Structure 1
Amino acid sequence: MKNVLILGSSGFIGSELSLVLVRNGFKVYGLTRRQESADQLIRNEIIPIVADVREIEKWLPIALKVDIIVEAIADLTDHRTPFIIQEALLKVYNEKPNTIFIYTSGVVVYGDIKNNNNNNGTNDESTPYFSHKFIDWRIKIEKTYKEILGAIIIQPTFLYGKDQSVASYYFEAATKSKDSIKIYGDENCVKGFIHIFDLVNFYQLVIKNALQLKGQTLIANSYNEKIKDVVTCIASFSGNLSNKPIEYLSKLENSFFTEFLTYNQNVSSSKAISLIGYYPLQPSLTDGIERYYNSWLLSRDKNTAFSKLIGTVLP
C-alpha cells in the first residue's frame, strides 16, 4: 500500500504526516484549500488537490484510486463537515471496500474521569463514551467509521510541539498573566499529551499494521502531566513566575472548550504499546520546556483556528 490521500494536509497533523510519508516512499495526495499551501506541498513532492473538503467532486476521483485515506480535518466551526466527508468515503468503501480508512478523533469522547466507571482511575479504549451535546456528533461518526467502513480510529491527547497546537493554551495562560496564572480546571487536573512528531510516528505504525487493525480504536498518548506542573514550568522558564499563585477557573457558560480544559483525563496508552509497539521518542512537555517554549515563541500564529479559539477564553 503506497498511495495515500491526506484530507487536511495543511493542518497541524496532516502537514507533518504528509512530509513523513512521502519521505518513506509513499505517493501522497494532499487536500488543501489554498493555492499557497498547494505550492508548498509541491515543493515537498506531495501532489496537491486544491479544494474545500466539502467540494467532494474535486477529490473523490483521487480517493477512489488510493490505498489509504487519512481524515485529519479539524473543522472547529461546522460539525456537518465530518458527516459530508464520511458520506463521500462511504461511496469509496462501496466501490473499493479494501481501502484503509483512518479517522482522527480525540480523547474528548471519554469526558472527565469522574464521569466513567473505571476503577483504576484512567481513561482507556474500554472507557464508555461520555454523552454530551458537543461530543455526541463525534461518537456517532466514529460508530459509522468503525462498524461500516472498518476504519481505524486514532484518538490523540493534547498535542504539543512546534507552535504547540492545543497545548498553546497553557503557554498563553502562563506567560500573559499579571497578578496570578489563571487556568481552567483544578490543582489535581491531569491531561494526556503527545508531541506532534510522536503522533506522526504513531500514524506510521498504524499504517504499517493497518490490515490487522481495521475496526480498532487506539488512544495516542505519551505522557500524563498535571496542568499545575505544566503552567508552573512554562511560567518559570519564561521568567513570568515571580511566585505568582495559580487561580483555577470554572468553565464558561456555553463554552465546551473551557469545559474540556477542566476535564481530568489520566490516559492509558497500553493498547497502542501492545498492538503497534508505540513508545514516545520526544521528551515530555515539562522535560523539554526550553526547546518547546522557544519554538512556540517564534512559530505561534494568532490567525490559526486554535489560536483564535484560545484567544476567546483567556481571561
Structure 2
Amino acid sequence: MTNPSAAPVSTKFLNVLVIGANGYLGTAICSAFLRTNAPPTSFRVHGLIRRESAAHQLAMNEVIPIIGSLSEPDMVRTAVLSHSPVWDIIVTCTEPSRATEAAHWSDLLAFIQDLASESASHGVRPFVLWSSGCKDYGTTGLHGEKSLTPHSEDSPLQSHPIIRGRMDAALRVLEVAGAEGSDFTAAVVRATPVFGYSGSYYGAAFDYAAAFAGVFGKDDIRSRTLDFTSDEGTIMHGVHVDDCGEGYVALATAALPDDDRRRRIAGKVFNISGRRYETLREVGVALAQEYGFGHGARFGLAQDELPEAVSGHNCGLVFGWSQWVSSERIRNLTHWCDKRSLFSENIGVYRLAYEAAIEAGLDDVEKVRRRMAGNWGDDHKAAE
C-alpha cells in the first residue's frame, strides 16, 4: 500500500486581506476563500477589523484577525505588514456612516495604495476586489412590462443618494488601478441584495410579516391577508450571501494564474445576482403562508389601509425597489453559478436562521433594523 505521506507536496499559500471581515458580507467572503483549496495552492485569509471584540469570532473560523482603524494609517499599516509584506488579494467590503464616508473612502484607497506599493516592491502586485452594489444602477421596470430589460455592467449609473459615495469610490479605484505605474490591479463587484443567516435587508421582510401577524390572534389570522403597498410585479432580485462570497473567490482565482487572464478581469465591473429574479408576489405569498395568513397576500394597497402596528416598518428598499440584474459577465468568464435556494423557495429555513440571529443578539440584525427605521447616522461605523 502506498503511503500518501511518503511524497509530501508543499502548499503554496496566497495571502488574502479582507477589509471589513466581521461584517455580513465580509464573513461570507472569508469563508468562501477558506473553502477553496486547489493543491498545491491554498489561501491564508486575514481579516482587518476595528474592534478587538470581533477578533475571537474570526479566529474561531480560521481567519487571522488584524485589529486597526483606517483613520490611524501608520498604526494599521504596521499591524497589517507585521503579518506579511506581500498581499496577493485584497477585498474591501466596508460600510461607513454617512457622516464619515467621504474621509473613509479616501483613507481606504490610500491604505490599499500603500500596501500595494510594499507588496509590489517584493514582486507581487495585489489584485483588489472593491465592493459596491447594484443599487448603483437605480431601478428597472416591473415584471411583465414590455420594456423590461435587466441592468448590466454597461447600464448607466443612477445611484441611490444614500450610497452615492460608495459608487464614486468604486469608479475612482478603477481609475487609479488603471493608471500607468499602478502597483495594483482592481475589479469592482456589484452584488444584488443578499440574504441568508442573519438576513441582511431581507430580515426586514421577516420583521414586517411578524409585526403584521402580531395584530391578529391564531384563529383570526386564518381569515386574513398579508398586505403590501408595493405592486405585486416588483422585482426582488437577490442572491444568497454564500453564493455571493463564492463569486468573489471565482473572480480572484480567475485573475491570479497569469497576466493574460488577469487582463480579462482587471479594470472591469462584475455584477453578482441570482439565476433568476423573484417577484414580490412570489415572496409575499411565501411569507403569508409561512406566517399563517389563510387568505394569502394582497398588493398595491394604500399606506393607510395597513395596520398601525406595521406603520413604522419602512420596507421600501426591500419590497419597493424593483430591479432585474444580469450577471452573465461573471458567469461567462469564471463559470461561477449560484447554488443555494431562492428566498421564496426556502423561506422557512431562512426564517429560522434569522430568528436564531435575533436570539443571539447579532449586530447585523440591529444595524439593519435601525436603517429600516431611517437611522443611517453615525452609529453605523465602518466594518473595518
TM-score scaled by structure 2? 0.71
Name the residue aligned to 2:4. none
Residue 204 (structure 2) aligned to one of 149, 162, 169: 169
Matched, 1:74 2:109: no
Residue 12 (structure 1) aligned to one of 24, 33, 55: 24
Matched, 1:203 2:248: yes
Q: Which has the larger radius of gyration?
A: 2
How far has the Cα of 1:233 moved from its partner?
0.5
Change (3 A) 1:249 1:82: farther
- Structure with the larger RCO, 1 or 2 (CA within 8 Å, 6+ apart): 2
* Identity value in percent: 21
Cα separation, 1, equivalents of 2:96 and 2:25 = 13
Q: In angstroms, what is the RMSD of aligned CA positions?
A: 2.8
Cα deviation, 1:215-249, whole Å, max 9, x if unaligned, reads 11111001311123212212211224544534557
Cα separation, 1, equivalents of 2:302 and 2:193 = 19
| Cα contact 1:22–1:28 (8 A) shared by 2 | yes
| Cα contact 1:185–1:263 (8 A) shared by 2 | no
Name the residue aligned to 2:7. none
Change (3 A) 1:232 1:83: farther
Name the residue aligned to 2:129. 102
Cα deviation, 1:64-119, whole Å, max 9, x if unaligned, reads 531111001122443222232122223334454621111111000000125xxx96
Which segments of 5 or more consecutive residues in structure 1 lack a partner in the other structure? 251-255
Matched, 1:286 2:344: yes
Residue 50 (structure 2) aligned to one of 33, 58, 70: 33
Residue 299 (structure 1) aligned to one of 342, 354, 357: 357
Which segments of 5 or more consecutive residues in structure 2 lack a partner in the other structure? 1-12, 178-184, 216-223, 256-261, 304-313, 376-384
Partner amino acid for 2:101? H
Name the residue aligned to 1:188. 233
Matched, 1:270 2:282: no
TM-score scaled by structure 1? 0.86
Name the residue aligned to 1:215. 267
Cα separation, 2, equivalents of 1:261 and 1:122 = 18
Partner amino acid for 2:330? A
How far has the Cα of 1:272 moved from its partner?
1.5
Cα separation, 2, equivalents of 1:263 and 1:6 = 29
Q: Secondary structure at the match of 1:125?
A: coil
Report how many residues are paired. Answer: 305
Matched, 1:52 2:52: no
Cα deviation, 1:122-147, whole Å, max 9, x if unaligned, reads 11111110155434322321111112
Cα separation, 1, equivalents of 2:201 and 2:282 = 17
Cα separation, 1, equivalents of 2:23 and 2:273 = 19
How far has the Cα of 1:180 moved from its partner?
6.1
Matched, 1:111 2:153: no
| Cα contact 2:205–2:315 (8 A) shared by 1 | no
Name the residue aligned to 1:231. 284
| Cα contact 1:160–1:167 (8 A) shared by 2 | yes
Q: Secondary structure at the match of 1:127?
A: coil
Cα separation, 2, equivalents of 1:70 and 1:164 = 22
Q: Identify the range of structure 1 (298-307 vs 151-160) with the bigger mean alpha-carbon deviation.
A: 298-307
Cα deviation, 1:180-214, whole Å, max 9, x if unaligned, reads 64556422210211001111111111111122411
Cα deviation, 1:231-270, whole Å, max 9, x if unaligned, reads 22122112245445345578xxxxx984675332111111
Partner amino acid for 2:86? K
Cα separation, 1, equivalents of 2:270 and 2:17 = 21
Q: Secondary structure at the match of 1:75?
A: coil
Partner amino acid for 2:320? T
